[in-house]
Amino acid sequence: MESTTRSFNEVTCFGEILWDVFPGSEKPGGAPMNVAYHLHRLGIKSNIVSRIGNDKRGRSLLDILEGWGLSTQYIQLDTEHDTSEVQAVMDDNEEVTYEIVYPVAWDFIEWKHELDTLVETTDALVYGSLASRNDTTYKTLISMLGKAKYKVFDVNLREPHYNETIIKFLLDQANLLKLNEAELGIISEWTRPGSRPGSENIRIIQNEYNIDGIIVTRGGKGASFFSGNNNYHSKVYKVKVADTVGSGDAFLAAFLSKSNQGIDIQQQLDYASALGAFVASKEGACPDYTKEELELFIRNYD
């Protein structure tokens, strides 16, 4: 079977860090931070490039990140804009919708010379579409993409915070793309309008943007990976869902972490699916766990 050969020993995650506010609770979040957290848990050095407000919420985020053992070196301090909060609401199907406040500190991530060295020396840059909603952060992202060795686009289409032209540009930069089924439908419709099977939508995106690998997450139905003419579908781990916040971010981190081990893509995909399910069975995007606990979960499930 096909295996991955690229190693990700150090990964930089760019974009939003924030507070997910639920009825009765709040937890740190933001896709780039979640990916960095899970990479760190899985033994991969990770960096976060973001921006917080000079306020209590921002200082609390820094304390939490430092408590997790994550570097805060590249998190900028904003004296004019607040630390981000997102109102999260879960529906009857356990899917989460978000009200994302604009503008906030991470909309103003500035380009600094220290980012040159960071992005040139790390193995991959993970970025999302939310980072393109404001010019300041978007321009910084463009500068980083111009220097990155390997680019991982973690799509996160949230109305009204995206623009078709910009998303197409970000797709054109990507070596690896991760998106869900709804996002797959939206993006393929831009390129070739009309209803068709999801696998055909994948081919449309592959051909249009020349992307090496595409991951499609399917919630409780697992995930699929497409590369060239090959496609793989993950094992499905059924769990009692606490919430689905951050499970896709955990999936991506696990997928990248296994690239270092030269295993075949099917195993890599199954491992990523397991962590996604494991996280969905816990509250919050960044539950406390060890690699050993994850491996025990996998063994017990098998």
CATH of residue 134's domain is 3.40.1190.20
* pTM of the entire predicted model: 0.94
Domain for residue 4, yes or no? no
Domain for residue 217, yes or no? yes
Instruction: Decide if pLDDT at 1 tops 70.
Output: no
Domain for residue 59, yes or no? yes
Domain that holds residue 113: 10-301
User: What is the chain's mean pLDDT, rounded?
Assistant: 93
Domain for residue 5, yes or no? no
Instruction: Decide if pLDDT at 40 tops 60.
Output: yes
What confidence category does residue 92 fall into, taking pLDDT thresholds of 50, 70 and 90? Answer: low
Q: What is the number of other CB atoms lying within 10 angstroms of the CB of residue 276? A: 30
Domain for residue 269, yes or no? yes
Structure tokens of 71?
A: 């570097």
What digits encode the pLDDT tens for the residues 186-207?
Answer: 999 998 887 777 788 999 999 9
**The total number of structural domains that make up the chain:** 1
| Percent of the residues in the chain that have a pLDDT greater than 90, as a whole number | 81
What digits encode the pLDDT tens for the residues 115-163?
Answer: 999 999 999 999 999 999 999 999 999 999 999 999 999 999 999 999 9
